[in-house]
Amino acid sequence: MTVRTDRSGKRFTEVDLPSGRVRLTYIRRGWSGSPSVRIQIREPNGHLRLGPEIPVAQLGDFLKALLDGALELVAGRGRT
């Protein structure tokens, strides 16, 4: 992964996935007022979709919740 700087001076990296490209941007002061990571999807036309900002201090909790939720969906326990 290569870390680059966008036009507004924020550091970011992009990750290629089979279903598309994801951009992770470091935000010094996110919506929570603390350092955060913004997660965005890059559309095929190059535009970025606005995504969530996860406080750096909560990244571990977020990733665990994301994994737990995905596993629940795959196991079929989250059926409506």
User: How confident is the model over 60-77, as pLDDT tens digits?
Assistant: 999 999 999 999 998 886
Total-model pTM: 0.83
CA-based radius of gyration for the chain: 15
The domain in which residue 10 lies consists of 4-75
**DSSP strands (E only) in the chain:** 4-5, 11-17, 20-27, 36-42, 48-49, 53-55
Whether 80 maps to a domain, the answer reads no
Q: Are 17 and 8 in contact (CB under 8 A)?
A: no
Total count of domains within the chain:
1
The pLDDT value recorded for residue 4 is: 97
Q: Are 23 and 16 in contact (CB under 8 A)?
A: no
Whether 45 maps to a domain, the answer reads yes
User: How confident is the model over 19-54, as pLDDT tens digits?
Assistant: 889 999 999 998 889 999 999 999 888 899 999 999
CATH number of the domain encompassing residue 8: 2.30.31
The pLDDT value recorded for residue 78 is: 55
Whether 46 maps to a domain, the answer reads yes
Q: Are 51 and 59 in contact (CB under 8 A)?
A: no
Whether 21 maps to a domain, the answer reads yes
Whether 62 maps to a domain, the answer reads yes
